[in-house]
A and B are shown apart, each in its own frame.
Chain A
């Protein structure tokens, strides 16, 4: 393959990857953040100790974390069909990507929230702040740099997952690399894809680091 043949393929594939990763990042944030808050709040010495629900949530999160993404993706095909009506195409793969990333991000949220000192939480309690106020005005703002850093790691992991999704019909850069680089021995395309992925990940990581640093006032 020549550069003239490769370049027209790269544009749409990059866009597909961006769509899969973008939407699943949004949904991961939407579900993972509350789940992470719940893991901390329901803990034995948390804001609202609820040992039963806490154990169930922890168990579910661990199941999500213990399945390799490629297995998870296949295992939840019926669920994906239920949600989007199809199991192929970029939109369909937002579902397994989100399901795979939510437990991952929830654990990172949990870790970031635990970094917030118990002394500031207790100070807020002593001021008569309600639990929702403490979550909204103490825990989340204080943990913000960690939450951003965790999201960056999650986005990078999602890019990796999305390449696997590509092999099952999700499209994107992973799909391109498999179809041309692996099945047709197109070395140049393989190298271009690898370089492109490295550049994207580096840029996202640097951006995430920059934002996290800006937000930190330690």
Chain B
């Protein structure tokens, strides 16, 4: 649905994007995770050409945006929704007026606009608030207006620029739940950028981790969890790095054919083999792909190699520290 190839963006001598390839499939929620300054915001703004990349192409819904003239680009942008960290609502308009804005831009007649605005406000749970002014709303409600406005053009794609970063944790969860629902009900493809791992964990199907203008790792979250040594796994389950000498790190991948976190694999190992096992740290996360976990242990005794082989055979990812 979104295909970016070889994106470079330079401001003077500063390189904000250094050869980025991005592929977002139709109907998925794709997260770009990175610290501030990693280039993720520039990447997002290159997708609807708010920033024109120095080199590279961007294709959205089969249309190469980088090849379009400004009138055609404006038409294409009407089919790409965007929501913003600080909501970017017009204070001179009511809630309904804000949602109507993109419809005015598209030239939708007034009666049709009013009908659509009412539908959109209901969709985001703000029915009856149309006459309010943005400053009368809470942060979460403002973002709901932003989402309603972004959906006005019935876009195939929604871009989210740190949409929950200015919100408290409970409100963040409610906005994420709304995005997830829109993704499921409307088949909306969502590309979001965030610095919060929590956002990626709660809603994303795929992720790209960015640093220094490059994508360091990307793919479906379920696949990355199954990839030994993946950066995503290390960031979701923060354990002290480097792992202490002799320790073993076990990853429960959430793969349905493999032991889930609730199975007593560890106690089985201790019963079956002559080993002592002690737990150094670990955690379990409930991801859209299923429950996954990571556990760091020390495992000593005569049967250590056999025990590790057993764990590997049962489908856990076993990483031994040197």
A residues contacting B by CB (< 8 A) are: 117, 119-120, 122-130, 133, 137-138, 141-142, 144, 215, 217-218
Q: Which of B99-107, B113-121, B206-214 contacts A (4 or more CB under 8 A)?
A: B99-107
For chain B, residues 105 to 150, give those with C-beta under 8 angstroms from any C-beta of chain A: 105-106, 133-135, 149
Are B133 and A217 touching (Cβ within 8 A)?
A: yes
Which of A122, A125, A129, A217 lies in contact with B135, CB distance below 8 A? A217
Given contacts A137-B101, A142-B92, contact A128 B76 (CB under 8 A): yes
Which of A122, A129, A142, A218 lies in contact with B105, CB distance below 8 A? A129
Docked CA distance A215–B92 (Å): 8
Kindly name the residue among A127, A133, A138, A142 whose own CB sees the greatest number of chain B CB atoms within 10 A.
A127
Which of B78, B93, B133 lies in contact with A127, CB distance below 8 A? B78
Task: Name 23 interchain pairs, CB-CB below 8 A, sorted by A.
Answer: A119-B84, A119-B88, A120-B88, A123-B88, A124-B101, A124-B105, A126-B50, A126-B80, A127-B78, A127-B82, A127-B105, A127-B149, A127-B153, A128-B75, A128-B78, A128-B106, A129-B74, A137-B104, A138-B90, A141-B92, A142-B91, A217-B134, A218-B91
Residues of B in contact with A, size category: 20 to 34
Chain B nearest CB, measured from A137 CB (Å): 7
Q: Mark B52-85, 1 if CB is under 8 A from A, else 0.
A: 0000000000000000000101111110101010
Q: Mark B170-204, 1 if CB is under 8 A from A, else 0.
A: 00000000000000000000000000000000000
Which of A128, A133, A217 lies in contact with B92, CB distance below 8 A? A217
B residues contacting A by CB (< 8 A) are: 48, 50, 71, 73-78, 80, 82, 84, 86, 88-93, 101-102, 104-106, 133-135, 149, 153, 159
Are A122 and B92 touching (Cβ within 8 A)?
A: no
Docked CA distance A133–B101 (Å): 10
